[in-house]
Amino acid sequence: MADANWEPRIVAIFCNWCTYTAADMAGVSRMKYAANMRIVRVMCSGRFDPQFALDAFAQGADGVLIGGCHPGDCHYSEGNYKALRRIRMLKRMLVDMGIAPDRFRLEWISASEGDKVKLVMNDMVAKVRALGPLSLPEKLKEFDVEVALEQASVR
C-alpha cells in the first residue's frame, strides 16, 4: 500500500527544558538525523494531553513521540511523572484501537543528550517506516461511508 516515496510523518511533543534543548544541542553539534520529525514545544511533558496524540493520528501522523526530562529531573519537579501515568493509559488504549505500540513512544532525554535525540529519532522513524503508513484519515473516511451505507440500507 505504501507508495515508493512515502515518508513517515511523526509528531514530536518535547518539553522546553530537557528534550527540546537536547534537540537544539543535536543541531549545535551538527548531528544528522531523519527529517521526518515535526517538533511541537510545550513547557513540560506534564502538559501532554492524550488528545494531542489522538488528534495527531487522526490528522495523518504515522507516529507520535513524547519527550521529557528524566524521572527526578523535571524542571517542574514532577510533571513528567504526571505525563507518564497518562501515557501508560493511552498506550493501552491505542493498542486496543489497533495502533501498533511502536507508533507511540515516550523518551526521557536530558538537555545534554543531543546524541540520544539523534538515536531515538532515527530508531523511531525506522520502526514506523517498517510498519508502513497508518493513514487514519483515509480509514475514517471509509468508515463514514460505510456508516452512511449502513444507514441507507436500514431504511
Partner 1 sequence: MSDAKGNGAMRIGVYVCHCGTNIAGKVDVAEVAKYAGTLPGVVLSRDYKYMCSDPGQELIKKDIAEQKLNRIVIASCSPLLHEHTFRGAAEKGGLNPYLVQMVNIREQDAWVTEDRGAATTKAKDLVRAAVRRLPFHQPLEKKHVPVNPAVLVVGGGIAGIHSALTLAAAGKKVYLVEREPTIGGKMAQFDKTFPTLDCAACILTPKMSAVRSHPNITLWTMSDVVKVDGFVGDYKVTVNRRARYVKEELCVGCSECIAACVYKDAKFPDEFNMGLGKRKPIYLPFPQSTPLVAVIDPATCIEFKTGKCKKTCVEACADRKAIDFQMKDEMKEIAVGTVILSTGFKPFDPKNTPNFGYGKFKNVYTALEVERLVNASGPTGGEVIMRDGKEPKSVGIIHCVGSRDEKTNRWCSRVCCMYSLKLAHLLKEHTGAEIYNFYIDMRTPGKAYDEFYGKLLDEGVHFIRGKVAEVTDCTLRPDEEGKLVIRAEDTLAGFVRRIPVDMVVLATGLEGQADAQDVRRLFNISCSAEGFFLERHPKLAPVSTFTDGVFIAGACQGPKDIPDTVAQAGAAAAEVLALIDAGHVELEPNTASIIEEECSGCKSCVALCSYNAISFIADKKKAWINEVLCKGCGTCVAACPSGSIRQNLFEDAEIFSEIEGVLSRG
Binding site for partner 1 (CB under 8 A): 9, 11, 16-18, 20-21, 23-28, 30-33, 35, 38-44, 46-49, 51-52, 55-56, 59-61, 72-73, 75-79, 82-83, 86, 110-113, 118
Q: Is residue 20 a contact partner of residue 14, using CB atoms and an 8 Å limit?
A: yes
Comparison of 29 and 147: residue with beta carbon closer to partner 1: 29
Comparison of 24 and 123: residue with beta carbon closer to partner 1: 24
The residue assigned the cell 518535547 is 14
Give the burial class of 34: count Cβ atoms within 10 A of its Cβ; 0-12 exposed, 13-18 middle, 19 or more buried. Answer: middle
Contact partners, residue 128, CB within 8 Å, separation at least 6: 8, 10, 36, 62, 63, 102, 103
Comparison of 85 and 155: residue with beta carbon closer to partner 1: 85
Comparison of 48 and 108: residue with beta carbon closer to partner 1: 48
Instruction: In angstroms, give the least distance from the CB of 46 to partner 1.
Output: 3
Instruction: In angstroms, give the least distance from the CB of 30 to partner 1.
Output: 6
The three cell numbers locating residue 62: 504515522
